[in-house]
Structure 1
Amino acid sequence: MTTILRPSRVGPAAAAQELLRRRRARAKLIDFAAYVDPTFTRAPHLELIAAYLEAARRREIRRLIIQAPPRHGKSKITSEMFPAWALGIDPTEQFMLASHTAALPETFSRNVRNLIETEAYQRLFSETHLSSDSATVQKWTLSGHTRPAMLTVGVGGSPTGQGAKILIIDDPIGAADEAESELQRNNLYTWYTDTIYPRLEPDAVIIIMMQRWHEDDLTGRLLRDQSRADRWVVLSLPALAETQQERDEYAKRAGLPMGQPDPLGRRPGEALWPVRYPAETLRAIEAVSKRSFAAKYQQKPRPAEGAKFKRAWLRTIEASELPQGLAWKRYYDLAHSLKEQSSNTATIAGAMGPDGTLYLRRGHAGKIESPEQRKMIRELMLAESDTEHGIENKVHGGPMVQELMREPELAHVALKSVNVHADKIARATPVVDRAEMGKVRFVRESVNDDGWIEEWISEMCAFPYGAQDDRVDAVSGVNQMIGQGEAQKTRSSTATVVTIDQMWK
């Protein structure tokens, strides 16, 4: 136990130094952690996490996602030091700690409660004490306050009748089988939206801290479906620093700002915590399972090799390698509504080569509603007037075809409804068979195509177990269109080369 400093035992210089340490500990979370716990090890990434948490306490950030590798100190600073420090500054704060099991947040709660009663803590915040009736780690209050300062709950549990001003969800997924189960992922999301979210006070802060497990894990789904009311700030800390291109590819998939540098200014390949996990140690971990390492250590979950497509089957060629005289067709798989959690509008152009190779180019998928869908299709029809366009004949697809056919400007462009009867797997099977023979190729027309091609290949490799399948449906649809028109004579396409991203804008 730390001995209380007394003026009779220290000189003026030591006393001044102690007062400075206390002032810094009250002002900065990272200094607080070092002051109350002599074993705490400072590190640049922990200082950065602490700075984000300080901003959250000030309500400058209300929705915060922290993604960091396992065993890198994120729980210590976030789920133990932060609540203790914040309650010292403002005893009216109300914390709720949640995790994949009830036992883990109870451990954090116990550590926070014990920390508050230490001499070191009391030297900083002498007005903050536990209430005499705070006997349980699941719920305790501070002296002079009636509302709980701390509540704990496991995923699936319900803190009935209790609210929170700061919600911390620390590792809501505990094992790979939970992450791979669509049912359990849905249950977790429903627990978050229907049980925990309604318990928040109007000015509440949500902090989700986890290592990534799956494209459709809790943070993946929240980022994909975030509303204007819940715009998330993301602090992503990969174990090994990445190139700018790698960061931008992730940002594009996650809907985050592109062009952001490494949060710590590291060079590519540098370790996050080299004193504890040097780069060579991390590379050894990566060698055991590249997919697991990409998710949990790099915060970039990849789809597992699906039961249908294999990544090695799906290759990319340059536009200059295309055979001459291909007849291009474009298929549109339209989302019904933006309210669908995993529904995108997807479109891609395809053509069949003389040897039976399916060539795919200018693909894109995104969340857009009916008016914008119609605008996109119209612009693509004008830009690719020598391409036959097909829209799935379901819900508003059929009426949209009729509307577009009435436009004089589009009279010279081939457009039709495509009837789809079989299920997704049955429709994809002909493409799978062709891919297995090495006869599916994505066409790279510029360096800007690398991003969308990787997105489509990743989704195809995850099918039918991935979070999304709209891109697969689009490929199946264009393959069906080609099959229906194989008897027609191949004709040359002279469509103007316009990137799909340009048309989308």
Structure 2
Amino acid sequence: MSLVEAEILKMARAVQADECKQSFYYFMQTFWSVIIPEEPVFNWHIEYLCNELQKLSYYIVNRLPKPYDVIINIPPGSTKTTLVTIMWPAWLWTQDQTIRIISNSYSGDLSIEHASKSKDIITSDLYRLLFPEIIIRRDKSGKGSYENTKKGARYSTSTGGTITGKHAHVIINDDPVNPKQAESDPLRLQANEHTKTLSSRKVDKKNTPMVTIMQRLHDDDVTGYLLKRKGEKIKHICLPAEVSSRVNPPELKERYIDGLLDPIRIDREVIAEAKVDLGSRQFAGQYEQSPVVEGGNIVKSSWFGHISLAQFLAVRGGAPIHFFLDTAYDEKKQKTDNDPSGILAACRIQNYLFIYHAQKVWKEFPDLMRFIPEYVRAHGYDDRSTIRIEPKANGKSVVQQARKATKLNVTETPSPADSKSVRLKTRSPKIECGRVILVEGDWNEEFVTEVSQFPAATHDEYVDILVYAIDYLLGDDGNEITDDDIKEILSAFGC
């Protein structure tokens, strides 16, 4: 090679290096083949996400107050981890070698793998050719954690793991909870608490952003947890596989191609197969970015019957009202982050369960004890009524105090042997067959939403007391509905 050719090659490399520094999207395209053998397909969302990360990088590099944290909800197989957790950290060092990065995932092995692939880029021949000044220290060159010679660093951790003594200029939270375990309250809480711990690992709380990448798995998953607590300080990017009202920002709907986010990677055949492989619940979370299946999860909202108050009073006759309680008391008074007490008024008419009213309250123990008599008397309590209380939390104390202080017919519901999901699934046929009818009221929407969203909803008090009402009022007792019964019910409904 002549000196002229060598000089031209050197200039070409300088231009390429500069292009990489100027554009994260160009950098990603340049280094794709270093870690991924498959032919690239650069759908529009890839460039969009690259540009969004580059905008955020300006604040990180210049140590300016961050404009927001970022949440990205996007289906699996959308190159999210490759972009955010693997390539972005390698690109950030081309902007500022002193940047320190913490990355997290639900699995320690997975987190290490992400960091290792990022290191593969940094140590590749192409990267060293374009950015020879970026050198990983030999004495601090692990697979999951390593540093460069300018004090920049990459640290890896996992949900439930420790990251003591480490602080970062940017935190990447990639799939903090395993999709298969998201319905576990302890594991979901652990992921949320770990996210809170990650927030304390910032070099500068005003400057250090957190970027969370995941699918929606539960109303109280990490995305839900963050959105409820930070509001406008978060840029929420939501890209379901098919165009829907959940697309955010909404103007991105226009970029969908024939209603699909990525018609090459996630075409309709892939979507159809995913629906079969994952089931409706998992598919809704991972591909639709909704923790709830349209219409409901275990119980569909359309299964509930509805009747006006006038129709109910006409058909009720002398049926006694019974009350079902899932009790809790609020130590912080009216703080809806705590569990509420749920109460339900219902009766049986023929072989139908009519729910007259349902309500949730956040009350301390003394206030709860004053509320219960007021509620039941306002909703049809008489000498034939019973008040059936779940014997968990302070339920036993409520029963004991009510027996001592009132003449109300109070008893405990049987202690459940199965999980809530199992209990609701086994009772759901009675709801599906139209045997549970709601008396129309302003409480209907909250009640139906919670029951149909279970087990992905924040609260589940209505689920418990609905199951107890079904067990007590529609339990198998050998009574068969007659033709006259059917005629009487239909007549009451105006049929």
For normalisation by structure 2, the TM-score amounts to: 0.66
Matched, 1:316 2:299: no
Residue aligned with 1:453, SS: helix
2:285 maps to 295
Q: Does 1:207 align with 2:211?
A: yes
Match of 1:239 among 235, 238, 241: 241
Once the two structures are superposed, what CA deviation does each residue of 1:460-491 show, in whole Å capped at 9, x if it has no partner?
xx4xx9863222245478889999xxxxxxxx
Report the Cα distance in structure 1 between the residues aligned to 2:232 and 2:253, rounded to whole angstroms.
Answer: 26
CA distance in structure 2 between the partners assigned to 1:184 and 1:50 by the alignment: 31
Instruction: Flag the 1:22–1:88 CA change in 2: closer, same or farther, 3 A.
Output: closer
Aligned residue runs from structure 1 range 349-360, under 5 A: 350-352=345-347, 354-360=349-355
Task: Give the unaligned 5+ runs of structure 2.
Answer: 34-38, 60-64, 382-386, 475-495
The structure-2 alpha-carbon separation of the partners of 1:77 and 1:313, relative to structure 1 and needing over 3 Å to count, comes to closer
Q: Aligned equivalents of 2:291 and 2:172: distance in 1? A: 22
Question: What is the alpha-carbon distance in structure 2 between the residues aligned to residue 56 and residue 37 of structure 1?
Answer: 22
Structure-2 separation of matches of 1:134 and 1:342: 43
- Tell me the secondary structure at the aligned position of residue 202 of structure 1: coil
Provide, for residues 146-183 of structure 1, a one-character-per-residue CA deviation record: whole Å limited to 9, x for no partner.
xx51112233332333222322222234462x334444
Tell me if structure 2 keeps the 8 A contact 1:211–1:297. yes
Equivalent residues, number:
428
Change (3 A) 1:268 1:36: closer
Matched, 1:471 2:462: yes
Please tell me the residue identity of whatever aligns with 2:175. D
Counterpart pick for 1:286 among 272, 275, 293: 275
2:412 to 396, 421, 435: 421
Match of 2:263 among 256, 271, 274: 274
**C-alpha separation in 2, matches of 1:9 and 1:91:** 25
The alpha-carbon distance between structure 1 residues 292 and 112, as it changes in their structure 2 partners (threshold 3 A), is same
User: Is the aligned partner of 1:439 residue 2:435?
Assistant: yes
**Per-residue deviation at 1:192?**
4.3
Match of 2:330 in 1: 336
* 1:1-80 to 2 correspondences below 5 Å: 8=8, 19=15, 25-37=20-32, 40-57=40-57, 58=59, 60-80=66-86
Aligned ranges for residues 155-304 of structure 1 at < 5 Å? Answer: 155-174=159-178, 176=180, 178-193=181-196, 196-203=198-205, 204-220=208-224, 222-223=225-226, 226-228=228-230, 232-242=234-244, 244=245, 247=246, 261=250, 263-265=252-254, 270-288=259-277, 289-302=279-292
Q: C-alpha distance in 1, partners of 2:408/2:49? A: 52
- Structure 2 counterpart of 1:265, one-letter code: E
Equivalent of 1:139 in 139, 145, 148: 145
Offset at 1:353? 6.2
Contact 1:165/1:205 (CA < 8 Å) preserved in 2?
yes
Shift of 1:140: 1.6
Structure 2: distance between partners of 1:84 and 1:137: 14
Structure 2 distance, partners of 1:206, 1:417, is 53
1:78 Cα deviation (Å)?
Answer: 0.5
Aligned to 2:478: none
Say which SS state the counterpart of residue 265 (structure 1) adopts.
helix
Deviation at 1:133, TM superposition (A): 3.0
Q: 1:453 aligns with which of 448, 452, 462?
A: 448
Instruction: Determine if contact 1:240/1:272 at 8 Å carries over to the other structure.
Output: yes
User: What is the letter of the counterpart of residue 51 of structure 2?
Assistant: A
Given that 1:215 and 1:301 are in contact with CA atoms closer than 8 Å, whether structure 2 keeps it comes out as yes
Residue 113 (structure 2) pairs with residue 107 (structure 1): yes
Task: Look up the equivalent residue of 1:94 and give its one-letter code.
Answer: R
Task: State the alpha-carbon separation in 1 of the partners of residues 44 and 408 from structure 2.
Answer: 57
Take 1:174 and 1:478, find their aligned partners in 2: how far apart are those partners? 34
Task: Summarize the Cα distance change of 1:318–1:141 in structure 2 as closer, same or farther, 3 Å threshold.
Answer: same
> For residues 391 and 312 of structure 1, what CA distance do their matches in structure 2 show?
26
Report the Cα offset of residue 136 of structure 1.
Answer: 1.7
For residues 80-116 of structure 1, give each alpha carbon's deviation from its aligned partner in whole angstroms, at most 9, with x where no partner exists.
Answer: 1111111221222211122233232222222222323
1:73 to partner: Cα distance: 0.4
- Provide the rounded CA distance (Å) in 1 between the counterparts of 2:234 and 2:126: 35
RMSD: 5.3
Q: Partner letter of residue 453 of structure 1?
A: V
